[in-house]
Amino acid sequence: MTTGVIRRAEIPAETPDAAGALLRQLGPGPFALVIVFLSPAADAQAVMARLDAHLAPTPVIGCTTAGEIGAEGYADGTIVALAFPDSQFRAQTLLVPDLARLDAQALVGAVIRARGQLTQESPDWPHEFAFLMVDGLSAKEDALTAALAPGLGNAPLFGGSAADGTRFLETWVFHRGTALRNGAVLALVRTRCPVKVFKFDHFRPTETRMVVTGADPSRRVVRTINAEPAAQEYARLLGKDPGQLTPFTFAAHPVVVRLGGRHHVRSIRQVDDNGDLIFYSAIDEGLVLTLAEPLDMVAHLTAEFDALGSDAKPAAILACDCVLRRMEAQEKQLSPRISALMRQHGVTGFSTYGEQLNAMHVNQTLTGVAIYPPEDRA
């Protein structure tokens, strides 16, 4: 299957000889890059090792998901692969093998060298973007995006945190046949095709604010809000009993922080046994949180996709969609309508434990890149 300028393959996760089935759907190369999104139900390590062995030296990267976005929109229990033909794309991939021992200076140097090599290979191709996949249980996404930013210059970055359904037990990223936990992989892409990196979220801040008065930032845990037990105070502000707090509550009632003149979502993952709130992204004492309320999810997404196509229709969209957006869509019975929008606009991607945009790690958003038909140049 093709989605504009990109090849796409999609199969059930438990397909016998899954790698072979994907390769047959993708068709012959050569490819500059192959990206694979794998349901936790897949034999992910075996699939990725075989794909790498067959496609080398093309870099093959991927991650596990909290659901996939395929030809029909939202999907579960599948493997989705994207191949970028080298007639339109060039790519370099970088592995970050241990996020606990992140060497920011060395990483910046590697990013600068990789971008320089891509420029030398295709000096007449003016468009570029960076795509990041990172272990979604590492709690290191904020530090990683901040470390990458100096090396990326004006190349826009987006990405998603690898997931494990809704189990939160074991997340994997893959790079050239190697399976990693507590790691990340960065793809730097240069192309003939105009691109636009974006972030969508459908929330607006209310007048209800709260202050984090006790936290463990290293674990993204908030113990007290407004000097009261965190879950109890959050529930009080919602007019709910603390025992009513569920993942659907968090999806419908996130909090936002104001950074760089804009509000960004900081989503709550769960309540622990002590009544503390565990967040998906960076949190610290003294932070002012604002309760947010949702806009109409379908209307908002329709308008945002239409804006991406206001001058020219994208040939393909690669996207990272927060698992909480999927939960909200399911709770409000909007999944078929959102899937139809994704199908209409050629979206491919996966549901995440968090998203990245440039130097930030964010939540409850849809980040991605719209890729437009190639320009008429050699």
At 352, list the tokens. 């995440």
The answer as to whether 88 is a domain residue is yes
- Co-location of 178 and 216 in the same domain: no
- CA distance linking residue 94 with residue 92, whole number of Å: 7
Reported as a single tens digit per residue, the pLDDT across 274-295 is 899 999 888 889 999 999 988 9
Identify the burial level of 124 via C-beta atoms within 10 angstroms of its C-beta, where 0-12 means exposed, 13-18 middle and 19 or more buried: exposed
- Co-location of 82 and 137 in the same domain: yes
The answer as to whether 378 is a domain residue is no
Q: Determine the 3-state secondary structure of 285 from DSSP.
A: coil
- Co-location of 219 and 263 in the same domain: yes
Last residue of a domain, one of 228, 263, 294: 294
User: What is residue 179's predicted lDDT score, i.e. its pLDDT?
Assistant: 94
Q: Categorize the per-residue pLDDT at 164 as very low, low, confident or very high, splitting at 50, 70 and 90.
A: very high
Q: Tokens 């826009």 label which residue?
A: 156
Q: Categorize the per-residue pLDDT at 4 as very low, low, confident or very high, splitting at 50, 70 and 90.
A: low
- Co-location of 288 and 330 in the same domain: no
% of the chain at pLDDT higher than 90: 78
- Co-location of 51 and 186 in the same domain: yes
Which residues sit opposite 214 in a β-bridge? 224
- Co-location of 215 and 279 in the same domain: yes
Reported as a single tens digit per residue, the pLDDT across 43-78 is 999 999 999 999 999 999 999 999 999 999 999 999
Full DSSP string of 25-60? HH-S--EEEEEEEE-TTS-HHHHHHHHHHHHTTS-E
- Co-location of 86 and 188 in the same domain: yes
Q: Specify the pTM.
A: 0.91
Amino acid at 19: A
Pairing of strands 268-271, 277-279: antiparallel
User: Which is more confidently placed, 184 or 363?
Assistant: 184
The answer as to whether 322 is a domain residue is yes
At 326, list the tokens. 């999927």
Q: pLDDT averaged over the chain?
A: 93
Last residue of a domain, one of 294, 325, 348: 294
- CA distance linking residue 267 with residue 89, whole number of Å: 35
- Co-location of 47 and 150 in the same domain: yes
Reported as a single tens digit per residue, the pLDDT across 209-259 is 999 999 999 889 999 999 999 999 999 999 999 888 988 888 888 898 887
Pairing of strands 157-162, 127-135: parallel
Number of domains in the chain: 2
- Co-location of 110 and 31 in the same domain: yes
DSSP state of 164: B
- Co-location of 212 and 165 in the same domain: no
Which of 357, 225, 340 lies closest to 286, judged by CA?
A: 225
Q: Is the dihedral of CA 169, 173, 179, 182 positive or negative?
A: negative
Residue 378, pLDDT above cutoff 60: no
User: What is residue 3's predicted lDDT score, i.e. its pLDDT?
Assistant: 60
Crossing angle for the helix pair 44-55 and 18-26, nearest 10 degrees? 40
Q: Tokens 């945002």 label which residue?
A: 304
Q: Tokens 């984090």 label which residue?
A: 212
Reported as a single tens digit per residue, the pLDDT across 339-367 is 999 999 999 999 999 999 999 898 899 99
Q: Is the peptide bond before 12 cis (omega within 30 degrees of 0)?
A: no
Residue 318, pLDDT above cutoff 70: yes
- Co-location of 121 and 69 in the same domain: yes
The answer as to whether 43 is a domain residue is yes
Reported as a single tens digit per residue, the pLDDT across 109-158 is 999 999 999 999 999 999 999 999 999 999 899 999 999 999 999 999 99
Last residue of a domain, one of 248, 277, 294: 294
Range of the domain at 288: 203-294
The answer as to whether 376 is a domain residue is no
User: What is residue 270's predicted lDDT score, i.e. its pLDDT?
Assistant: 87
